[in-house]
Amino acid sequence: MTEPPQTEEGWFVLHDFRDVDWDAWRDAPDRERERAVAEGVEYLEDHEAVVDADEGTSAVFSVVGDKADLLVMHLRPTLDHLSTAERRFEHTALGEFTEQATSYVSVTEVSGYVSDAYFAEDEEEVDEGLKQYIEGKIKPELPDDEYVCFYPMDKRRGEEVNWYDLPFDERADLMAGHGETARKWGGKVDQIISSSLGLDDWEWGVTLFAGDAVDIKDIVYELRFDDATSKYGEFGSFFVGRRFPPADLGAYLRG
Residues of this chain, 81-100, that bind a copy of itself according to CB under 8 A: 82-84, 86-88, 90-91, 95-96, 100
In this chain, which stretch among 48-56, 115-123, 126-134, 214-222 interacts with a copy of itself, using CB under 8 A?
A: 214-222
Residue 249 contacts a copy of itself per CB under 8 A = no
Alpha-carbon distance of 189 to 212, in angstroms, equals 9
Among 151, 221, 232, 252, which one carries the catalytic annotation? 151
Residues of this chain, 51-70, that bind a copy of itself according to CB under 8 A: 62, 64-67
Q: What are phi and psi of 59, to 5 degrees?
A: -160, 160
Residue 105 contacts a copy of itself per CB under 8 A = yes
- Whether residue 151 lies in the annotated active site: yes
Contact indicator for 101, 17 with CB cutoff of 8 Å: yes
Residue 78 contacts a copy of itself per CB under 8 A = yes
Rg of the chain over Cα atoms, rounded to whole angstroms, equals: 20
127 or 184: CB nearest a copy of itself: 184
- Number of residues near a copy of itself (by CB under 8 A): 89
Alpha-carbon distance of 198 to 205, in angstroms, equals 13
Burial of 154 (C-beta count, 10 Å sphere; 0-12/13-18/19+): middle
Residues of this chain, 116-175, that bind a copy of itself according to CB under 8 A: 147, 149, 151, 156-162, 164-165
- Other CB atoms within 10 Å distance of the CB of residue 129: 8
By annotation, the residues acting in catalysis are 151
